[in-house]
Structure 1
Amino acid sequence: MKPIPTKVHGLLDYTTGALFAASPWLLGFSDDKTARWVAVGVGAAVLGLSTQTDYEAGLTKRLPMSTHLTVDTLTGVLVAASPWLLGFANRITWPHVAFGLLETGAGLLTRSKPSYYKND
């Protein structure tokens, strides 16, 4: 059984999504357009995905949790690699790598069904 309940995952989604979106200003890399837009875009996407997911923190519950976790895992890998893929590694790396690893880990370690369903 995976150790992270979906309820905890929801709290992580809203917290990390908002913090990653705000990180260019909080951490002083808002002048780097590409790094800024990766952080803002992915942070906003995490928040949007969270509102649509069928789990305790979802508002409309349209997307299955399994889909959400797949998106988290793939997005995390891409965000962690984005400083090198998009050419801003010489300026800023650690927020993207940290968020990407957190996103990937959460995707891999979260239960696939909310507590109001029987977990596998």
Structure 2
Amino acid sequence: MKPISLTLHGAIDYLAVLIFVAAPAVIGLSGWPAVLSYALAGIHLLMTLLTDFPAGAIKLVPVALHNWVERIVGPVLIILAFLPLNGATQNARIFFGIMGVVILAVERLTAYRSITEAK
């Protein structure tokens, strides 16, 4: 049994939004890493609000799509942390690497089937 319920997953998603919004000021992201962090905050917020799960407000996005987006975004952020990109400070690399690991871990540890079984 996976330990993260969809309700907890939603709370973690909203926390991730706050972290992405705060990161540029807190750890000094600037340039494209700051823009990416703000963009990820917006995308993550929109996806969470629109997902058909307890934390979703509008419930248009199937949970399965939310799951697949996280399966893609997590590894992409981890890879991004290791690419030699201009403007990516060590803080940016560490931040995106950690967020990628967290997103992937939450995705892997969430009991996604619980909502489909309840319907």
TM-score category (smaller protein): 0.7 to 0.9
Aligned residues of 1:54 and 1:64 also touching (Cα < 8 A): yes
* Aligned match of 2:92: 92
Could you list the structure 1 runs, at least 4 aligned residues long, displaced by more than 4 angstroms after superposition.
none
Give the gaps of 5 or more residues in structure 1: none
d(CA) in 2 for partners of 1:90 and 1:50? 29
TM-score relative to the length of structure 2: 0.85
- For 1:89 and 1:70, the matched residues in 2 are separated by 29
How do 1:1-120 residues align onto structure 2 when only pairs under 5 Å count? Answer: 1-30=1-30, 33-85=31-83, 87=85, 88=88, 90=90, 92-113=92-113, 115=115, 117-118=116-117
Aligned amino acid, residue 77 of structure 2: V
TM-score after normalising by structure 1: 0.85
CA RMSD of aligned residues (A): 1.9
- Whether the 8 Å CA contact 2:27–2:91 is kept in 1: the answer is no
> Quick one: percent identity of the two aligned structures?
23
Structure 2, unaligned runs of 5 or more: none
- Judged with a 3 Å threshold, the aligned counterparts in structure 2 of structure 1 residues 38 and 63 are, in CA distance, closer, same or farther, namely same
Please state which structure has a larger fraction of its residues in helix.
2
Deviations 1:51-102 (A, max 9, x none): 0000000011111111101101211111122233461255631111111111
Tell me how far apart the structure 1 counterparts of residues 79 and 37 of structure 2 sit (CA, whole Å). Answer: 13
Equivalences, count = 116
SS at match of 1:92: helix
Amino acid at match of 1:4: I
- What are the superposed Cα offsets for residues 22-75 of structure 1, whole Å, 9 maximum, x if unpaired? 201111123xx1211221111211111000000000011111111101101211
